[in-house]
Amino acid sequence: MENFLKVLLVKDNEVIALCGIIVIFFTIVAFVRAIKNDRLKRKSTAAKDTKEEQANDKIQVWPYLVRKEFIVCIWLTIGLLVWGCITDAPLEEFANPNVTPNPSKAPWYFLGLQEMLVYFDPWIAGVILPSLIIVGLMAIPYVDINPKGNGYYTFRERIFAITVFCFGFLVLWIMLIVVGVFLRGPGWLIFMPWQEWDSHRIVAETNYDFTQFFGIDSKSLLGFFIGGWVVALYYVLGMGIPYVVMRKGKTMAKLGIVRYALVAFLFWTMLALPIKILLRLMMNLKYVWVTPWFNI
Amino acid sequence: MERFINKIRQVIGEMSRTHMWRSFFRRRHDDTRRSRTLAIVGNFFMHLHPVMIARQAIKPNHTWCMGGITFFLFLFLTLTGVLLMFYYHPDTRNAYWDVKDLKYNVVFGSILRNTHRWGAHLMVITVMIHMFRVFMTGSYKPPREFNWVVGVILLVLTFLLSFSGYLLTWDQLGFWAITVGTNMARATPFLGHEGPFGEQLGMTAFNDIRFAILGGSEVGGNALLRAYIWHCIAFPLMTSILMGLHFWRVRKDGGSTGQL
């Protein structure tokens, strides 16, 4: 526990604790409001009218909104000044390229990406996946063609969209950051809060490539083809099965093949991360597909 | 007391009729609907606001204030950032000691630096929460799709602003955070010398994308200068322009409660 407190209070780590608390708080707020709204809507058939009524119930920005903005600015300034008085920003030793701290960590908001480095090669974890996150986020309004839930909290009307987004944001982004900050110690090994950070700890684990489980050399031509087939099958089946099931449905007709393919590709790419984490933790899987140029 | 207050009122009343006062403030502010409307329409700092807004939309638990807070933090960071620039030299010999000076020699220097750093971290948090809120209320749906795209770019710019500021203290924390962060660029497919097909395209440590980011093959004086210029000029400029666009689109496309 002592060690946990030490980790909690060094560098900018209390900020991440704060971030975690804020995120949990607002997640609860959002879902409570969504469920409340859903319940209200189920009860009253005239929910749409009330929304329109609300939109027509207008007040003047000056002074009612400007006043609030001003008060928030004052409180924020006070808060920041108090925070700046009681805690000092971290400043370590003079930069020295010859002394590598162990562990050396990226800024806290990139630790989710650094955490992915354990499971994927740098070109995927550090370049491809971040780019896909950005592209995927930008694509959201163009692939989400559900007209409901525009401008109010709801869960029932957007179950798929909200579930996927919350999984990505809360688990794959925030939780990986928290793991990277608080649980990753020397050698980028997992240290529980009650464990002392031991820089000499060695964990002997041998990771195997996928084809090695069947006794096939992953660097051989056969291994190359099997690995490639597994990756291809993952996407083909993942994207194909829901398509076949939903082919005749209304959603698919509205969505169209291009939008569907984009959603399915991004969805299965996102899920590849937790899948690979599980496979690594349970079966010591290293790579699925080994090629002379890159490994997946 | 009463007489004193009346006197002040009288003085202000007379002042507000002078030529100079009227040239500053353009019009009188009475407590009338018309005057309140003009306070928004006729004021440079207020004109991005709509005149009327849904009662629902200004409740704190509807928008959580997160977009506004993020904007305020940006202004706060610009102000403290400019002040910090007066005490800082972006070269490897001086940078670290300038930061030390801020802590021990400059009057209020440590508060200046602390609030700049905590404000920056807070801005990263609030911008993420803002995105979360916009998603949860479905506020990216038509006709506001493009504004969400602008918002995503602003999110990335916020990360980059914070990331480029990390190196400026030139201490072990910043140096290694940037080293770890930029090492990823080595692995960029095609453009990095350790990435897939990079070697085949003739990428080395001295001509790949990481070299372009750092101005060298390792984090050094050039990287510090580049981080400084990106952090203090390029990223804030890009962010300001896109923020203007972001707010303007909120006005044109409507906010979280629909048409404004």
| ipTM entry | 0.92
Locus of tokens 């990390």: B166
A250-283 vs A221-246: helix axis angle to the nearest 10? 140
Residue from B122, B172, B256 to probe the interface with A (highest A Cβ count within 10 Å): B172
Per DSSP, A88 falls in state P
Contact residues, chain A, for B183 at CB < 8 Å: 122, 126
Minimal Cβ distance to B257: which of A55, A72, A106: A55
CA A116 to CA A275: how far, in whole Å?
12
- Give the rounded distance of the alpha carbon of A32 from its chain centre: 22
Structure tokens at A241: 């099965």
Mean pLDDT rounded to a whole number for chain B: 90
Minimal Cβ distance to A121: which of B51, B69, B187: B187
Q: Does A60 touch chain B (CB under 8 A)?
A: yes
Sign, Cα dihedral of A136, A142, A148, A152: positive
A135-178 per-position pLDDT tens digit: 999 999 999 998 888 888 899 999 999 999 999 999 999 999 99
The continuous run of DSSP H or E covering A85 comes out as: helix A61-86
Report the range out of A45-49, A73-77, A209-213, B142-146 with the highest average pLDDT.
A73-77
The continuous run of DSSP H or E covering A58 comes out as: strand A58-60
Q: Which residues contact A152 (CB under 8 A, 6 or more apart)?
A: A37, A51, B137, B138
CA A77 to CA B72: how far, in whole Å?
9
Structure tokens at B33: 């609907």
User: Does residue A87 register a pLDDT over 80?
Assistant: yes
Q: What are the DSSP calls for B35-93, one per residue?
A: HHHHHHHT-TTTTTS-SEEEGGGGSHHHHTTHHHHHHHHHHHHHHHHHHHHTT---STT
Contact residues, chain A, for B156 at CB < 8 Å: 134
CA A128 to CA A105: how far, in whole Å?
20
Write phi, then psi, for B259 (nearest 5 degrees).
-60, 135
Structure tokens at A150: 């525009």
Which amino acid, one-letter code, is at A96? N
A256-290 per-position pLDDT tens digit: 899 999 999 999 999 999 999 999 988 888 898 88
A38-65 per-position pLDDT tens digit: 898 888 765 555 566 666 788 888 888 8
- What integer pLDDT is reported at residue A4 of this predicted model? 73
Contact residues, chain A, for B145 at CB < 8 Å: 141-142
B135 falls in which pLDDT band (50, 70, 90)? very high
Sign, Cα dihedral of B68, B74, B75, B80: positive
Per DSSP, B258 falls in state B
Contact residues, chain B, for A72 at CB < 8 Å: 65, 68-69, 72
Q: When comparing pLDDT for B250 and A203, which is higher?
A: B250
- In degrees, rounded to 5, the angle at the alpha carbon of residue B75 between the alpha carbons of residues B129 and B27 is 115
Q: When comparing pLDDT for A122 and B76, which is higher?
A: B76
Q: Which residues contact A54 (CB under 8 A, 6 or more apart)?
A: B54, B55, B56, B257
Report the range out of B55-59, B154-158, B199-203 with the highest average pLDDT.
B154-158
CA A162 to CA B239: how far, in whole Å?
28
Per DSSP, A59 falls in state E
CA A276 to CA A282: how far, in whole Å?
10
CA A205 to CA B1: how far, in whole Å?
83
Please say whether the beta carbons of A94 and B99 come within 8 A: no
